[in-house]
């Protein structure tokens, strides 16, 4: 086993550390604490935050990559090779794959419906008498333990009950310490616990049932749809955060400078963002991705395995999305800075001869943080949705890297089959919808709490 650190993995963990530090810093500010308390004082805030954290957790688990050691070839063992060289699998595995108990390694030949025991398409095969017939072949990894296909649903039910019991047991162990610690807290933690319990039970159920059945069926290539959907989580979450993270420094620096220094700096920044936003976004992104793709294709030596190539393309996509989308945030920050720099305390700082850098750092930046925060959560869901569209256009994630966009793209004509193949689309739909909905609802709460305009509106009411 050899750990493998992809560039995106490294960035993700850096990001997590940075976010934790950032929020730790923010905690010291009483006003910020009060606003966060407002977000978490609603049950909705608790539940959506739990859902988002679950997705982030899956993404982080899926970011711990390694390459499995291959079994030494028999021929080499015969020769008693002195150098015990170990060869590593070109396929990259992650901790999530292991936790799922090999869900991704149970391939079928082609389509099969959820919980099906037989393949979806008829095939030529031989019956017991050795005569050629055309029938639905049995699946290789579903219902192998059943002697009679009639027992399928009672068996599923029994296994569900057992896994539910296990799930509840784990829930009890997981939630009890939280209860001891937080029972006197004024926030509605019980809503979060309910959500956690549902997530844990669902997770346990999925892992245990998927050993015997394909819960969401298999796709055209015979891969488990549930597994693909889970692999899409990392792509979606990472894209949403990394692209925003790349956008932030550009937008904040330019916006604050334009609003503070005014004059030609302001003109230049305004010119830059008007130019950039007048180009149709999707064309700019498509053109940039295509150009990068040409670059990768012409320089294949940079990447030792396919996964690294896909990862490079993914990072390029994040980078491109970030660089092309800073204009709206920049405009907001510029306007806010213009407003703040007219205020008394900034004028006073000027009068005392405080340096520009210090005024920017101490007086202006802390007062635009709420805009950054609101944009961060708002953009997240938009980016997750954009990924699907980009993959459809053919400029999205590399097909070898699982993503919801690629799943939809591959399955878009499946509904017009007879009978329709609905499960691949449903899998992608459900996982994407849950994440985007949670992010949207959460961002609404954050905006309500942090946006001064909505604060004043509330105090009026």
Partner 1 sequence: MFAYIVRRLLYAIPILIGVNLLTFMLFFVVNSPDDMAVSQLGEKYVTPQAIAAWKEKNGYDKPLFINGAAEGAGAITETIFFTKSLKLFAFDFGRSESGRDITTDVSTRMWPSLAVALPTFIVGIWVNICVALLVVMFHATRLDRWAVFLFVSLMSISYLFYIIGGQFLVAKTWKLVPISGFQAEGQAWKFLILPVLVGVVAGIGSGARWYRTLFLEEANQDYVRTARAKGASEISILFRHILPNALIPILTGVVVLIPSLFMGSLLIESFFGIPGLGSYMLDAIKSQDFAIVRSMVFIGSILYILGLILTDISYTWADPRVRLS
Nearest to 140 by CA among 230, 227, 207, 222: 222
| Torsion from C-alpha of 211, 212, 213, 214, nearest 10 degrees | 20
Length of the chain: 461
Is the sign of the CA dihedral 393, 396, 398, 399 positive or negative? negative
Among 7, 29, 415, 452, binds partner 1 (CB under 8 A): 415
Asked if 398 and 318 count as a contact pair (C-beta separation under 8 A), the reply is: no
The least CB distance from residue 395 to partner 1, in Å, is 7
Start-to-end Cα distance in the chain: 61
Tell me if 5 contacts partner 1 by CB under 8 A: no
Q: Which residues contact 277 (CB under 8 A, 6 or more apart)?
A: 327, 328
Tell me if 220 contacts partner 1 by CB under 8 A: no
The least CB distance from residue 394 to partner 1, in Å, is 5
Q: Which is nearer to partner 1, 163 or 381 (CB)?
A: 381
Three-class SS state of 46: helix
- Please provide residue 379's backbone torsions phi and psi, each rounded to the nearest 5 degrees: -70, -30
Among 73, 221, 366, 420, binds partner 1 (CB under 8 A): 420
Tell me if 389 contacts partner 1 by CB under 8 A: yes
Tell me if 429 contacts partner 1 by CB under 8 A: yes
Among 4, 286, 305, 365, binds partner 1 (CB under 8 A): 286
3-state secondary structure 177-222: HHHHHHCCCCCCHHHHHHHHHHHHHHHHHHHHHCCCCCCCCECCCC
Tell me if 394 contacts partner 1 by CB under 8 A: yes
| Torsion from C-alpha of 32, 35, 36, 38, nearest 10 degrees | 160
Q: Which is nearer to partner 1, 73 or 394 (CB)?
A: 394
Among 132, 283, 351, 357, binds partner 1 (CB under 8 A): 283
Interface mask toward partner 1 for 367-386; x: CB under 8 A: --------------x---x-
Among 78, 85, 148, 297, binds partner 1 (CB under 8 A): 297
Which residue stretch of 59-67, 172-180, 338-346, 434-442 sits at the interface with partner 1 (rule: CB under 8 A)? 434-442
Site residue total, partner 1 (CB under 8 A): 46
Tell me if 4 contacts partner 1 by CB under 8 A: no
DSSP string, 287-330: HHHHHHHHHHHH-GGG-SSHHHHHHHHHHHHHHHHHHHS-HHHH
Q: Which is nearer to partner 1, 15 or 393 (CB)?
A: 393
Q: Which residues contact 321 (CB under 8 A, 6 or more apart)?
A: 239, 243, 246, 247, 285, 383, 386
The least CB distance from residue 231 to partner 1, in Å, is 18
User: Footprint of partner 1 on residues 237-276 (CB under 8 A)?
Assistant: 271-272, 274-276
Among 251, 359, 408, 445, binds partner 1 (CB under 8 A): 408
Q: Which residues contact 62 (CB under 8 A, 6 or more apart)?
A: 94, 95, 96, 97, 230, 231, 233, 234
Asked whether the bond before 167 is cis by omega within 30 degrees of 0, the reply is no
Tell me if 436 contacts partner 1 by CB under 8 A: yes
Q: Which is nearer to partner 1, 8 or 409 (CB)?
A: 409
Q: Which is nearer to partner 1, 15 or 276 (CB)?
A: 276
DSSP 384: H
Distance CA 403, CA 230 (A): 9
Which residue stretch of 14-22, 102-110, 326-334, 427-435 sits at the interface with partner 1 (rule: CB under 8 A)? 427-435
Tell me if 290 contacts partner 1 by CB under 8 A: yes
Binding site for partner 1 (CB under 8 A): 271-272, 274-280, 282-284, 286-288, 290-291, 294-295, 297-298, 381, 385, 388-389, 392-395, 408, 412, 415-416, 420, 425, 429, 432-433, 436-437, 440-441, 444, 457, 460-461
């Amino acid at each position: 086993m050899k750990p493998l650190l992809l560039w995106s993995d490294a960035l993700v963990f850096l990001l997590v550390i940075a976010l934790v530090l950032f929020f730790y810093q923010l905690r010291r500010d009483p006003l910020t604490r009060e606003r966060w308390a407002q977000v978490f004082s609603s049950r909705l805030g608790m539940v959506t935050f739990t859902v988002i954290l679950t997705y982030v957790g899956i993404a982080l688990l899926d970011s711990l990559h390694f390459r499995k050691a291959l079994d030494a070839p028999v021929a080499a063992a015969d020769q008693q090779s002195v150098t015990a060289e170990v060869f590593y699998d070109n396929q990259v595995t992650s901790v999530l794959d292991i936790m799922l108990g090999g869900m991704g390694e149970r391939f079928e030949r082609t389509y099969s419906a959820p919980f099906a025991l037989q393949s979806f398409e008829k095939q030529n095969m031989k019956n017991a008498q050795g005569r050629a017939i055309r029938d639905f072949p049995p699946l290789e990894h579903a219902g192998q333990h059943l002697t009679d296909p009639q027992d399928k649903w009672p068996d599923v039910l029994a296994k569900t009950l057992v896994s539910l019991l296990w799930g509840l047991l784990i829930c009890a162990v997981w939630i009890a310490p939280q209860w001891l610690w937080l029972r006197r807290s004024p926030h509605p933690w019980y809503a979060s616990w309910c959500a956690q319990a549902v997530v844990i039970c669902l997770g346990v159920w999925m892992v245990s049932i998927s050993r015997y059945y394909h819960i969401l069926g298999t796709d055209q290539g015979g891969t488990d749809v549930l597994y693909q959907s889970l692999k899409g989580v990392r792509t979606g979450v990472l894209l949403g955060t990394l692209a925003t993270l790349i956008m932030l420094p550009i937008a904040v620096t330019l916006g604050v400078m334009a609003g503070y220094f005014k004059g030609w700096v302001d003109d230049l920044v305004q010119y830059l963002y008007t130019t950039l936003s007048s180009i149709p976004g999707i064309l700019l992104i498509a053109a940039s991705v295509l150009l990068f793709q040409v670059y990768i294709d012409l320089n294949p030596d940079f990447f030792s395995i396919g996964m690294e190539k896909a990862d490079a393309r993914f990072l390029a996509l994040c980078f491109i999305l970030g660089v092309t989308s800073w204009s709206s945030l920049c405009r907001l920050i510029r306007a806010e800075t213009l407003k703040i720099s007219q205020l008394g305390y900034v004028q006073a700082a000027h009068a005392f001869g405080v340096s520009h850098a210090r005024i920017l750092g101490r007086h202006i930046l802390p007062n635009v943080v709420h805009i950054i925060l609101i944009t961060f959560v708002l953009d997240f869901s938009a980016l997750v949705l954009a990924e699907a569209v980009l993959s459809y256009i053919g400029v999205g994630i590399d097909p070898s890297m699982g993503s919801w966009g690629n799943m939809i793209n591959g399955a878009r004509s499946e509904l017009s089959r007879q009978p329709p193949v609905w499960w691949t689309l449903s899998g992608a739909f459900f996982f994407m919808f849950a994440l985007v909905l949670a992010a949207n609802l959460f961002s609404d709460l954050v905006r309500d709490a942090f946006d001064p305009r909505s604060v004043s509106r509330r105090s009026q009411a």
